[in-house]
Chains A and B, each alone.
Chain A
Amino acid sequence: MRVLAAMSGGVDSAVAAARAAEAGHEVTGVHLALSRNPASYRTGARGCCTIEDSNDARRAADVIGIPFYVWDMSDRFHEDVVEDFMDEYAAGRTPNPCLRCNEKIKFAAVLDRALALGFDAVATGHYAQLRTGADGLVEMHRAVDGGKDQSYVLGVLDQEQLRHSLFPLGDTPKALVREEAARRGLLVADKPDSHDICFVADGDNAGWLREKLGDRAPNHGGDIVDDATGEVLGQHGGTYGYTIGQRKGLRIGTPAPDGKPRFVLDIEPVAGTVRVGPRERLAVTGLRGIRPRWCGTVPGTLEGPGVTVQLRAHGDEHRARVVVTPDGPDTEVEVELLDPAYGIAPGQAVVVYDGTRVVGSATIAATERVPA
């Protein structure tokens, strides 16, 4: 096959490209430039969009012996990922930009362009496994390395996208991937893993949003309110700086009467209010998901011992019963959680699993709490 290997400049995508080439595919390395002004993104070795990363990817491609190009995806990335990120926080939700990037950029804009240019598939360094099921459909499963499993951020891929994807690392623990990179002479072998959000240069989400949202922000400050008593406990610098379930950074002076820590329970962007309370008030028993994306056939009701949902990257598995409303433009997903979950933020994705297999995903629109 002719394979386009998306190369971030990190160790995983470099080894993935090397493995694809070794498997006999005709591989071309492509680094995705996601900002026209690379300096505005993370600098150093941690991010995915710097000149240094582009050079690291180029050197890895040299070592592997494959052609290498940089594709400018900055306009699409800004439109589909960065703008969405800002809108979601402004609306009091907590988006996952990595999922969005996979859905709209890596396995959409890049894949479409690759297919048109004569490639058969896109290979990435994501930790997930693909295999063909009895029905002939491509199934996506969790990676062998549970600690690195990235099937959650790939839960947005549909069958067509999966049919043109390669994840060469899914069967290997991360430690062995690093060893393999060293053995292959890839200089990125000891480069640290990337964390956080690539376009927030210093990791200060709230500060970045304050600057970028400007007048688009619903507020730049307001009250932190005790959810039970309505008492104003303090002030915040903009609701977009908060996420449901957040404990740190509340800077509330008065201790709670019971001495227990308080968490963000609700964010009200229009009123400009952040409501806080004890952890038990964060318990969620069910949720409603919109914009579902299915990896294979559209399911009806999913239940049984293997059915679980994951509600955040590297989060726990929760046993669940999942009901999909009839297919159509307004199709939704109702999830009943059999194990309670805490601190679930609208905007995040719910990814549905059957055993290790990813069934699909939806965006969390609302959660059901235990009544006070």
Chain B
Amino acid sequence: MTSRTVYLDHAATTPMVPAAVEAMTARMLEVGNPSSLHASGRQARRVVEESRETIAQAVGCRPGEVVFTSGGTEADNLAVKGVFWARRGADPRRTRVLTTAIEHHAVLDTVHWLEEHEGAEVELLPVDSHGVLDLDALRASVGRDPASVAVVSVMWANNEVGTLQPLEEVVAVVGPHGIPVHTDAVQAVGQVPVDFARTGVDALTLTGHKLGGPCGVGALVVRRELGVTPIVHGGGQERDIRSGTLDVPAIAGFAAAVELAVKNQAEHAARVFALRDDLVRRVVEQVPDAHLHGAPLDGAATGRLPGNAHLGFPGCEGDSLLMLLDARGIECSTGSACSAGVPQASHVLLAMGCDEESARHSLRFSLGHTSTAADVDAVVEAIAPVVERARAARA
């Protein structure tokens, strides 16, 4: 057993920052339902509203546009289903849902559910070999019949390979037709500049635990003018869009984390992409046929999340690599979805044109705010023998 854990799975979840822990724990012993009218309720409500303002300030929206949810998955469901239902309710011709082939399952499974149960016509738009949405395909798809599109959902940054999507161009294509654009930005906030108003999207998902806040809380930022049919009914909280008693401590911790992550974004990104570039370069030195998936390293980090290193190791099973690294205290991910823990070839890599074989030989190292040069050294030291062993296991 190694004494030190080398945690390189920040895209799965990242450690809470002390400011978030403090903000959260400070509220945990206080009573008060933000919907109550008495002093305790008012105090709780004040914390929620201040948190809302903090988040709005950080991501470039108005406070009234922040709808708290239980996290990214719920926010994605609310955006896609809620906007689909509201838009189709207003005009029954609007049955098409356009999204990319590389979305997180929180969006993909939601659109497929709409297809199966609500008669939605789903189009999964293609991406290029770097994982960038094909804008011509989007243009053609929208242009074929703009009046029939209910909603377009394009992630800000891909969770597996870290590729950033051309959101402003998406808005430029879709917006003039009056079609709302949702973006899942859970991987992007705090990593790259994210400005809701400037981008012009209509709805944006963010979540606490990817940026140093607690798990179980997130938000859908949604333009006030956009109708959203609720998926959780009850007490009418959050503008009647999302009922349920608000989790005051979690919201306070979430806001503190968002504020800090956005404030530190440029500095954080510069530090992390330097480490990431070093990791990729030195791993390839150790394992010459290892190769990077996704957008190329570009220094300025405009095409790719700064902390993402998604590497293919030909001749290996990703899960063998993961197990061997785990045994050495190095924690990463195969980046693929699991059902019953059964590794499936990544739909993201398949959409990028990888074959089934190469889609299974990949590892995702994702660096974050606690990553150090020593973490990179540990990977570089371990990788060659681990790859050799994993290759032998395939023979």
Closest CB of chain A to B53's CB: distance in Å? Answer: 42
Give Cα distance in the complex from A258 to B326, angstroms. 70
- Residues A74 and B342 in contact, CB atoms below 8 Å apart: yes
**Of B326, B341, B343, B394, which contacts A54 at CB under 8 A?**
B341
Interface assignment of A302: CB less than 8 Å from any CB of chain B? no
- Residues A69 and B319 in contact, CB atoms below 8 Å apart: yes
- Residues A36 and B342 in contact, CB atoms below 8 Å apart: yes
Q: List 6 A-B contacts (CB under 8 A).
A: A67-B327, A70-B319, A116-B389, A117-B389, A117-B393, A118-B324
- Residues A51 and B389 in contact, CB atoms below 8 Å apart: no
- Residues B395 and A31 in contact, CB atoms below 8 Å apart: no
Give Cα distance in the complex from A116 to B393, angstroms. 5
Interface assignment of A113: CB less than 8 Å from any CB of chain B? yes
For the complex with contacts A36-B344, A50-B340, A117-B393, 12 further pairs of A-B residues with Cβ separation under 8 Å are A33-B342, A36-B342, A54-B340, A67-B327, A70-B342, A71-B319, A72-B319, A113-B393, A116-B394, A116-B395, A117-B389, A118-B324
Within 8 A of B (CB), among A112-141: 112-113, 116-118
Interface assignment of B320: CB less than 8 Å from any CB of chain A? yes
Task: Report B-chain residues with C-beta under 8 Å of the C-beta of A70.
Answer: 319, 338, 340-343
Task: Report A-chain residues with C-beta under 8 Å of the C-beta of B338.
Answer: 70
Interface of A, helix, strand, loop or mixed by DSSP: mixed
Interface assignment of B337: CB less than 8 Å from any CB of chain A? no
Within 8 A of A (CB), among B339-395: 339-344, 389-390, 392-395
- Residues B324 and A117 in contact, CB atoms below 8 Å apart: yes
A28-B323, A117-B323, A117-B324 as given contacts; A51 in contact with B339, CB under 8 Å: yes
A31-B341, A54-B340 as given contacts; A67 in contact with B390, CB under 8 Å: no
Q: Which residue of B lies closest to A70 (CB)?
A: B341
Closest 4 pairs between A and B when the two form their complex, measured CB to CB = A70-B341, A116-B393, A51-B340, A116-B392
Task: Report A-chain residues with C-beta under 8 Å of the C-beta of B343.
Answer: 70, 72
A-B contact count (CB 8 A): 52
Interface assignment of A58: CB less than 8 Å from any CB of chain B? yes
Give Cα distance in the complex from A38 to B392, angstroms. 28
Closest CB of chain B to A275's CB: distance in Å? Answer: 44
Within 8 A of B (CB), among A4-32: 28, 31
Closest CB of chain A to B322's CB: distance in Å? Answer: 8
Task: Report B-chain residues with C-beta under 8 Å of the C-beta of A69.
Answer: 319, 322-323, 341
Determine the interface band of chain B, counting residues with CB < 8 A from chain A: 20 to 34
- Residues B393 and A58 in contact, CB atoms below 8 Å apart: no
Please count how many residues in chain A sit with their CB below 8 Å of the partner chain's CB atoms.
20
Closest CB of chain A to B148's CB: distance in Å? Answer: 34
Closest CB of chain A to B237's CB: distance in Å? Answer: 34
- Residues B324 and A67 in contact, CB atoms below 8 Å apart: no
**Of B323, B326, B342, B394, which contacts A72 at CB under 8 A?**
B342
Within 8 A of A (CB), among B143-176: none
B340, B392, B393, B395: residue with the most chain A Cβ atoms closer than 10 Å: B340
A71-B319, A117-B389 as given contacts; A58 in contact with B327, CB under 8 Å: no
- Residues B320 and A117 in contact, CB atoms below 8 Å apart: yes
B320, B322, B323, B390: residue with the most chain A Cβ atoms closer than 10 Å: B323
Q: Which residue of A lies closest to B385 (CB)?
A: A118
Contact with B along A47-65 (1 / 0, CB 8 A): 0001100100010000000
Task: Report B-chain residues with C-beta under 8 Å of the C-beta of A74.
Answer: 342
Task: Report A-chain residues with C-beta under 8 Å of the C-beta of B395.
Answer: 116
Task: Report A-chain residues with C-beta under 8 Å of the C-beta of B342.
Answer: 33, 36, 38, 70, 72, 74
Within 8 A of A (CB), among B284-329: 319-320, 322-324, 326-327
Closest CB of chain A to B313's CB: distance in Å? Answer: 14
Task: Report B-chain residues with C-beta under 8 Å of the C-beta of A112.
Answer: 393
Closest CB of chain A to B189's CB: distance in Å? Answer: 32
- Residues B389 and A38 in contact, CB atoms below 8 Å apart: no
Within 8 A of B (CB), among A187-233: none
Task: Report A-chain residues with C-beta under 8 Å of the C-beta of B339.
Answer: 38, 51
- Residues B324 and A58 in contact, CB atoms below 8 Å apart: no
Closest CB of chain B to A40's CB: distance in Å? Answer: 12
Task: Report B-chain residues with C-beta under 8 Å of the C-beta of A31.
Answer: 341
- Residues B326 and A67 in contact, CB atoms below 8 Å apart: yes
- Residues A33 and B389 in contact, CB atoms below 8 Å apart: no
Q: Which residue of B lies closest to A71 (CB)?
A: B319
Closest CB of chain B to A58's CB: distance in Å? Answer: 7
Q: Which residue of B lies closest to A67 (CB)?
A: B326
Q: Which residue of B lies closest to A52 (CB)?
A: B340
Give Cα distance in the complex from A357 to B389, angstroms. 36
Task: Report B-chain residues with C-beta under 8 Å of the C-beta of A51.
Answer: 339-340
Closest CB of chain B to A72's CB: distance in Å? Answer: 5
Task: Report A-chain residues with C-beta under 8 Å of the C-beta of B394.
Answer: 116
Give Cα distance in the complex from A225 to B336, angstroms. 55
Give Cα distance in the complex from A38 to B341, angstroms. 10
A51-B340, A70-B340 as given contacts; A118 in contact with B389, CB under 8 Å: yes
Task: Report A-chain residues with C-beta under 8 Å of the C-beta of B327.
Answer: 28, 67
Give Cα distance in the complex from A69 to B320, angstroms. 10
